[in-house]
Amino acid sequence: MDIVKNAKSSYGRQYRDKLCSPEEAASIVKSGDALCFPISVGEPTLFVRALAARKHELEGVIVNQQHHLCPDYFTKDSAPHIRVNAWFTSHVSREAVQNGWADFIPNYFHEVPRLLREFWPIDVAGTVVSPMDEHGYFTCSLSVAYTMEAVKKAKKVVVQVNSQAPRTHGNCHIHISEIDHIIECNEPLEELTISPISTIEEAIGGYIAELVEDGSCLQLGWGGIPNSVCKALLHKKDLGIHTELLSDGMVDLILAGAVNNSRKQTHLGKTVATFALGTRRLYEFMNENPTIEMHPVDYVNYPHNIGKNDKVVSINATLEVDLLGQCCSESFGHLQWSGTGGQADFARGANISNGGKGFITTASTAKNDTISRIVPTLKPGASVTTGKNDVDYVVTEFGVAKLRGQTARQRALNLINIAHPDFRGELTEAARRMNRI
């Protein structure tokens, strides 16, 4: 494969001088080194696999990363050799974090680049990039987030040039002069399976869509509820997008004409995101699309930047919410499940926004209606992802509870009204015992 066939000869020579195998790139890692890889689909999997294959040759290597793909060193026997500092756990890293084989770093997503600057050394940074252009630039493609900061700080930079990675616009370019080693790759990019929308998700999406005005600026996470919301918004007009995650549902909104970004106060006419995860259709839509801009997370998720747009609508999911409105969206008691991500960033940004609305969503129950997601108090050890002062609306399949600006009594009553009917009685009694109602 000749990824640089259109490059100017000077850059082409630099490219070929830096070209190497995954094993050669992995050989630069030494015991005690600190590494940094991008979030999810930006992970350079060929490099990571080659590194994992030689883990027993190494001691005390630390990997900093948010949301992981390759499982090869998330095992008990790997910890002395390659240990991970997880900024957000995925299905790959969850067991390792819960068992103490990996560490977890609490963080607001928008602060990760600053935390990298101030607290963590980076000897080697690795990332997936799109093919080089005639000016010697690659793009961070689908995963910008904290990648640019890691590349800037690292002593050595390894890029995995994937011919299938879309070339993206925005503040996401890396020049060949910043790169030490290049791996070529033609593997299909990681895709996110889109599951059918359940009746509960459809109901929640419908409630939210009724409250979304024309001209709103959207942020959505991933999963059935965001997909349901996107489907329910297809008839809206002049919507904008300023989001951490760009997904397939947003492509549907753009193609339907519901999103045109014509009423945004920043990046007028542009869809803004910091990473993307979805299907090949999404990736192909993003390739060389001048209406989509990818920017670092300390810009995209900074609450005051979010709030510069009017009518920001933030939609994120939670695992448990108590009668005061505290939301635990990342743990089951003390067991870490995911991370704060950008939920708190966008909840605050929506509150700053003129006419903004923040929605926290959850099914009313779990485990076949045996557990209520609305509870008197959070479980012992639970992480408060979005605090009571930042929560605006909570939505279940039974309706919408307005919390912002409400008294503790009103909050409890509003939340009980959207709880599953089987649990409303015991929630009412618990609220009385706590003198909430």
Catalytic residue set = 244
Two tokens, residue 423 = 């649990």
CA distance linking residue 178 with residue 425, whole number of Å: 62
Structural element, H or E, at residue 182: strand 181-185
Report residue 193: phi and psi, to 5°.
-70, 135
Report residue 359: phi and psi, to 5°.
-115, 125
Exposure string of 208-221, with b = 16+ CB inside 10 Å and e = fewer, is: bbeebeebbbbbbb
| Residue 144 near residue 172 (C-beta atoms within 8 A) | yes
| Residue 189 near residue 69 (C-beta atoms within 8 A) | no
CA distance linking residue 118 with residue 192, whole number of Å: 33
Two tokens, residue 88 = 């957000």
Two tokens, residue 389 = 């002062």
Compute the chain's Rg from CA coordinates: 22
Two tokens, residue 210 = 């009724």
CA angle at residue 98 from 148 to 82, to 5 degrees? 50
Please give the full DSSP string across 228-243, using - where no structure is assigned.
HHHHHTTT--SBEEB-
Alpha carbon 89 to chain centroid distance? 11
Please give the full DSSP string across 326-381, using - where no structure is assigned.
-EE-SEETTEE-S--TTHHHHHHHHHHSTT-EEEEE--SEETTTTEESEESSPPTT
As a whole number of Å, the end-to-end CA separation of the chain is: 69
CA distance linking residue 254 with residue 173, whole number of Å: 25
